[in-house]
């Protein structure tokens, strides 16, 4: 979907803060110049495409453009419990505290990045309501002793449950503080038993162009979204699977029914609406790194001293209140994660 992003007041105030928008504009330029096909062919030729990443290529070609969700859908409608879900609210883990106010639930619910549903934050939350989140199956495999294909509600019933208030920092410089519910990724690792040859974990989001307007024909993105972590990062105590937010089911626009949360990394490292998890020996490719390696590294740890090539990362601002803060190394989580790094990671 080629779409020119209309600059909102906060973009003007805060400069060029949208990493992805510049690429979209470039693509729009190429399209107008009649070069889009050549450009896209070049991109998709950059890396091998594996079978499980593009299981439904045929669907990409034939999908009709999704119908707009009802315009009268309210934001409150999107943050309700999901009928039949095994999710239940659970106690807050007091180990993780944040010395900033919690972001308003409805502010977070309408300020999302979820490119499968478009690039405009005003319409993304609405488009995301088209995603069918039940039934939802997650395939966990690769280098593990006990691979499994499991329905989301069976998985929720098997796993422990806790709530964690975490900071969250997008590479675009906006930040929030939200209470995720779910379980440590380490609990899921225990379930599938990674083999000693496993050194990385790869995450793959859904591919459903019939529901996701941004995955439609000619989108130019290499869907589905894919991300990765080292095994040590995956096993870190902060690494969290969110199945809920603000005490109820994870809203669709936040990546229902299963998304990763990595509070010391830029937001894009946490893939949403995951359908496949694979333990690998090789470092996995990642969606944004394949798109622009100099702008989006594999590690992407929050670091005020490492500017994005197009803007400084020294400061950040809270969605809702617009209050600004100095960015903290590892987003303030150094005590948990610094030992995994030399500091030179990109
Ligand atoms: N599948 C998928 N996961 C994704 C993205 C996306 O476009 N698709 N965007 C990422 C980015 S850039 C951010 S900042 C966070 C946003 O999470 P939120 O909308 O719940 O705040 O999701 C990340 N995970
Ligand atoms: Mo982001």
Decide if 74 is inside a domain.
no
Quick one: which of 272, 265, 163 has its CA closest to 224?
A: 272
CATH code assigned at 96? 3.90.420.10
At 20 the pLDDT is 55
Q: Which of 17-26, 172-181, 275-284, 324-333 has the lowest mean pLDDT?
A: 17-26
The pLDDT tens digits of the residues spanning 263-294 come to: 999 999 999 999 999 999 999 999 999 999 99
User: Structural domain of residue 182, as residue ranges?
Assistant: 14-64+90-340
Atom of ligand 1 nearest to the CA of 254: 20
Minimum CA distance residue for ligand 1 atom 10: 268
Pairing of strands 274-280, 137-142: parallel
Ligand of minimum distance to the alpha carbon of 168: 1
Decide if 2 is inside a domain.
no
Decide if 55 is inside a domain.
yes
Instruction: Share the mean pLDDT of the chain.
Output: 86
Decide if 8 is inside a domain.
no
Decide if 164 is inside a domain.
yes
At 65 the pLDDT is 65
Give the predicted TM-score (pTM) of the model. 0.86
Instruction: Choose which residue among 267, 288, 291, 295 to substitute to test ligand 1 binding: the one with the highest number of ligand atoms within 8 A of its C-beta.
Output: 267
Summarize the confidence of residues 243-262 as an average pLDDT.
98
Q: How many whole angstroms from 33 Cα to the centroid of ligand 1? A: 30
Contacts with 47 (C-beta within 8 Å, 6 or more apart), sequence order: 222, 285, 290
Tell me: pLDDT of 43 over 90.
no
Q: Which of 108-112, 148-152, 196-200, 341-345 has the lowest mean pLDDT?
A: 341-345
> Where does the chain show beta strands of DSSP type E?
137-142, 148-151, 162-169, 174-184, 200-205, 226-230, 240-245, 248-249, 259-261, 274-280, 315-318, 324-326
Q: Residues 218, 212, 152, 270: is their CA dihedral positive or negative?
A: positive
At 16 the pLDDT is 41
Examine residue 150 and say whether the peptide bond preceding it is cis (omega within 30 degrees of 0).
no
At 55 the pLDDT is 35
Tell me: pLDDT of 219 over 50.
yes
Decide if 27 is inside a domain.
yes
Tokens of 283: 């470092």
Ligand 1 proximity of 205 Cβ (cutoff 6 Å) = yes
Decide if 9 is inside a domain.
no
Q: How many whole angstroms from 270 Cα to the centroid of ligand 1? A: 7
Better-predicted residue by pLDDT, 204 or 46:
204
Decide if 4 is inside a domain.
no
pLDDT band at residue 18 using 50, 70 and 90 as cut-offs: low
Q: What's the number of domains the chain is made of? A: 1
At 27 the pLDDT is 52
The pLDDT tens digits of the residues spanning 67-123 come to: 677 778 899 999 999 999 999 999 999 999 999 999 999 999 999 999 999 999 988
Q: Is residue 219 helix, strand or coil?
A: coil
At 24 the pLDDT is 54
Q: CA triplet 243, 202, 108: central angle to 5 degrees?
A: 35
Q: How many whole angstroms from 246 Cα to the centroid of ligand 1? A: 17
The pLDDT tens digits of the residues spanning 288-308 come to: 999 999 999 999 999 999 999
Ligand 1 proximity of 226 Cβ (cutoff 6 Å) = no
**Burial readout 173-198 (b: 16 or more C-beta within 10 A, e: otherwise):** bbbbbbbbbbbbbeebbeebebeeeb
Quick one: which of 225, 236, 312 has its CA closest to 276?
A: 225
Ligand of minimum distance to the alpha carbon of 287: 1
Quick one: which of 153, 136, 133 has its CA closest to 78?
A: 133
At 329 the pLDDT is 98
Instruction: Choose which residue among 219, 246, 268, 269 to substitute to test ligand 1 binding: the one with the highest number of ligand atoms within 8 A of its C-beta.
Output: 268
Q: Answer for the pair 227, 286: CB distance below 8 angstroms, yes or no.
A: yes
């Amino acid at each position: 979907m080629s779409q020119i992003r209309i600059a909102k007041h906060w973009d003007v105030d805060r400069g060029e803060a949208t990493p992805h928008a510049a690429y979209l504009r470039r693509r729009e330029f190429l399209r107008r110049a009649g070069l889009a096909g050549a450009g896209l062919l070049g991109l998709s030729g950059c890396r091998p495409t594996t079978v499980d990443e593009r299981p439904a290529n045929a669907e990409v070609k034939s999908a009709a453009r999704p119908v707009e969700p009802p315009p009268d859908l309210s934001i409150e409608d999107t943050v309700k419990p999901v009928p039949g879900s095994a999710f239940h609210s659970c106690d807050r883990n007091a180990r993780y505290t944040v010395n900033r106010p919690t972001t308003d639930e409805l502010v977070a619910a309408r300020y999302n990045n979820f490119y499968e549903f478009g690039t405009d934050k005003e319409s993304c939350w609405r488009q995301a309501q088209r995603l069918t989140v039940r039934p939802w199956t997650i395939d966990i495999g690769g280098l593990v002793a006990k691979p499994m294909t499991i329905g989301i509600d069976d998985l929720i019933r098997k796993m422990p449950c806790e709530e964690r208030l975490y900071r969250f920092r997008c590479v675009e410089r906006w930040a929030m503080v939200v209470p995720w519910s779910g379980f440590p990724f380490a609990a899921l690792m225990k379930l599938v038993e990674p083999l000693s040859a496993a050194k990385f974990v790869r995450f793959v989001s859904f591919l459903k162009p019939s529901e996701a307007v941004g995955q439609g024909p000619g989108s130019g993105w290499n869907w589905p979204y894919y991300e990765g972590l080292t095994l040590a990062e995956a096993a870190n105590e902060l690494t969290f699977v969110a199945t809920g937010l603000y005490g109820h089911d994870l809203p669709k626009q936040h990546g229902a029914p299963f998304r990763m949360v990595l509070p010391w990394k830029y937001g894009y490292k946490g893939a949403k609406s995951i359908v496949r998890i694979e333990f690998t020996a090789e470092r996995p490719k990642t969606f944004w790194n394949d798109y622009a390696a100099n702008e989006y590294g594999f590690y992407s740890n929050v670091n005020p001293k490492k500017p994005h090539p197009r803007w400084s990362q020294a400061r950040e601002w809270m969605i809702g209140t617009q209050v600004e803060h100095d960015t903290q190394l590892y987003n303030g989580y150094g005590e948990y994660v610094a030992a995994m790094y030399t500091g030179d990671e990109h």
